[in-house]
Amino acid sequence: MKVTVAQSSGFCFGVKNAVAAAEEAVSNSAGGKLVMLGEIVHNGYVVDRLLQRGFTICETAEECPEKSVVIIRAHGVKPSDIAILKAKECEIRDMTCPFVSKIHKIVREHAENGMNIIIAGTKGHPEVTGILGEAEGTGVKTAVIKSPEDLENLDFPLSSAILVSQTTFSSEVFKDICKKAENQIAFKYLFDTICITTESRQKEAASLSGESDSMLVIGSSHSSNTTKLLDICKGRCARTFLVNSAEEAGRLIAEGKILPDERVGITAGASTPEAIILEVVQKMNEDENKKNENQNVDSEFANALDLLAQVRRGAIVKGTITSADSDFVYVDVHDKSEGRIARREFESDPDFDLDKAVAEHAEVTVKVRSIKNSDQGKEIILSKNDVEAEKGRAEIEEAFNSKTPIEVKITRTVKDGLIGTFKGIDVYIHRTQIKHGEVKDLDPYIGQTMEIRITKFDTEKGRLRISGSHRVIASEERAKKSAEVWDNIEEGKHYIGTVRSLVDFGAFIDIGGVDGLVHVSELSWSRNAKPSDVLKVGDQVEVYVKSFDKDTKKISLGYKRLEDDPYYNIEERMPLGCIVKGTVVRLTKFGAFVQLEPDLDALCHVSQISSERLDKPEDALHVGQEVQAQVTEIDPEKRRISISIKAVAPIDPVKSEEAAAEEAPAEEAPADGEEA
């Protein structure tokens, strides 16, 4: 693998000065409050290091504490921000890039003379915001454009304006904008304010990417100049990749996206530290170095690679586990003193066999947390988890940018949500993003593995905030299944569905991304059954399509089965003339309803109850009474059965003794001469 690094890679002049000023402020702080007004550079490695050394990040001048030391980053700020800081008696370290300061001066002078301002750049970028601040209060109009076509949408004439550029703007696009504007804007009002370093960096990237099989752009996706480099390289080399660490570069090799015999070009944004560039170069040449220790890297950084072996704070190094005690694990990191890792880091990893690692002197990759010199020697504090966390963070950021799902393990609940972990990084999942529908109890999710999509990756204000959603994935899967259902649906087709909800008029069943309605009349053959009597939410049921409308997206489903119909095969089960048993369940003026089977009632007319004429059925029967009868009529279509109790064993009314005496025949009187 031949690796070539563009000469104009890494920190530009302005960024290097700003970072150096921040480091100096740390050394001379004497315990004072140190503030970055916005991240000093679009690079997590640098920002995290400064945060660890006592800096805080404030997004606005209003947030900065009084009498604090405030570093103005290379992007610069609005004049009004400087005024606020002075009012707070802050010690201002203005590290605005000289190229940016030049633009501020141009805009300020022409705005005061009534000229409108056009900036070729990215709207909302800190540098652009600061430049626009020079026109505040002057009454002129401003516009931020990113293409020649945007000139057509201005609400003021070009003849009344000047044109400047963000320092990291694409030089090619700016030339196109100038070409379109030159006939309307006076030549003396077209200011090419693109940084010389930026232009050189872009030209080198264009040339190198055109000669390379693969191209690596090192930097953050949040960095304007890095994204410009990425666009330039992608236009000339199809296999261009954005990476922000050596680990990401290594994954490209492991996954076969970069091959050992390729020509690999490397460039880096102005926010990328030299140390990261060196680590990437070393990673790309790792395999070759094993084959040939004298392999030379085609890069101006080749001679500096030996520095990577030095143990320094924040460095990622490899070491050998030598021993362990109850508190620490000791690692030889090729320094005069051994480093140590808290034993709990290994105990929290169930897949790591510490005893075996000590016995075999296993190699481990660690991060140097701190180095202290004392009378007893050098004390080096290391961390294995920090390395995993950095890898996890990088993978999560990549998953966020590519919208690739990841799996997290749910470890605990918090207010209104869950916390899942991915390689030591916490991800917040709000209860509304767990699934469709309301989640009332979060505890059952603890310990489960959940596939999520990263919906938020926020590093603002020095804190990493990551949120994810399983519901997004479920919604997409549901949409795909829904399309399949509508493409293949037909009347009579059967599905295994899930009961999603119950309402008074029926049940909604999910048949695979689409909900259909089973009307209450289709749930049961029983006329009085309620949906909750038949089903419960979550049940798996077999349903079939009765009808559907693709325009209104409505599906009517059937659930009750023919064989469950009480009248199914009734003429065979209860032929005419057969004797049946039943229970009286209801009495009316015209007869009695007798339940022969559940949900199967037969009518015995009042004339078919008794051998005597009855005024009403209750003269002979009562509810709950068991009777025998003969089947006299069956009509399945009308769902009607008629029976006769009288044909089997008439049930006559029970008469009182007085009524019986009145109806008994009178005895004849004795004849004359006979004894009574």
First-to-last alpha carbon distance for the chain, in angstroms, is 144
- What angle, 0 to 180 degrees and rounded to 10, lies between the N-to-C axes of helices 13-27 and 98-112? 110
Q: Is 127 a catalytic residue?
A: yes
With helix as H, strand as E and coil as C, how does 285-331 read?
CHHHHHHCCCCCCECCCHHHHHHHHCCCCCCEEEEEEEEECCCEEEE
Q: Are 72 and 38 in contact (CB under 8 A)?
A: no
The active-site residue, picked from 59, 66, 109, 127, is: 127
Q: Are 466 and 447 in contact (CB under 8 A)?
A: no
Contacts by residues 474-483 (CB-CB < 8 Å, ≥ 24 positions apart):
474/435, 474/436, 475/436, 477/513, 478/436, 478/513, 479/513, 480/513, 481/512, 481/513, 481/514, 482/512, 482/513, 482/514, 483/513
Q: What is the CA radius of gyration of the chain?
A: 43
DSSP designation for 190: B
Contacts of 251 (CB under 8 A, 6+ apart): none
Q: Which SS3 state, helix, strand or coil, does residue 187 take?
A: helix
From residue 434, alpha-carbon distances to 322, 401, 420, 454 in Å are 45, 21, 11, 13
Contacts of 457 (CB under 8 A, 6+ apart): 396, 397, 400, 464, 465, 466
Q: Are 23 and 69 in contact (CB under 8 A)?
A: no
Q: Are 46 and 15 in contact (CB under 8 A)?
A: no
Alpha-carbon distance of 471 to 477, in angstroms, equals 10
Both structure tokens of 358: 């000590």
Place of tokens 């300020």: 108
Q: Are 237 and 267 in contact (CB under 8 A)?
A: no
Beta strand pairing call for 263-268 and 240-243: unpaired
CA 475 to chain centre: 11
Query: Is the Cα torsion angle 341, 343, 344, 345 positive or negative in sign?
Result: positive
Q: What are phi and psi of 415, to 5 degrees?
A: -60, 120
Strand partners, 94: 72
Any idea which residues carry the catalytic annotation? 127
